[in-house]
Amino acid sequence: MRTLIDSSVWIAYFRKTIDSTILNELIANDEALTHILVEAELRAGNLSIDREDFFSALHCLNYAPMIAFDEVFQFIEGKKLFAKGVSFVDVMLIMSALTVGARIWSLDKNLVQLANELQLATLKL
């Protein structure tokens, strides 16, 4: 199943705090999705990686779509998603995954909880 990979998973991967087997399988099977806002978070972070190689490889993945900000705002207000410990980026990722019928893989407990509340499949390890 296509899986949108949150920045928290990539960070754990770089730090070698997760087993990379599933991530490697998702990539090999062309089931790994990224998002421009995940890339933005990773680019702004302090990562001990070969940035050029990683971001070149990241660009080989399929990107989940951006959702118009107004739609995200309406979703937040309509579903009362404020004060739940998630960010605008988290809500955008959830909406993007819902739009393309993908599940989401995150190590962020609040993001996973909200995804579950919204009936979005999550990858659980």
Question: In sequence order, what DSSP letters do the residues of 5-39 get, joined into one string?
Answer: EPHHHHHHHHTT-S-SHHHHHHHHTT-EEE-HHHH
What is the value of pTM for the model shown? 0.94
Residues 70-119 pLDDT 10s: 999 999 999 999 999 999 999 999 999 999 999 999 999 999 999 999 99
Q: Flag whether pLDDT at 48 surpasses 90.
A: no
What domains are defined for the chain?
A: 3-117 (3.40.50.1010)
Q: Flag whether pLDDT at 124 surpasses 90.
A: no
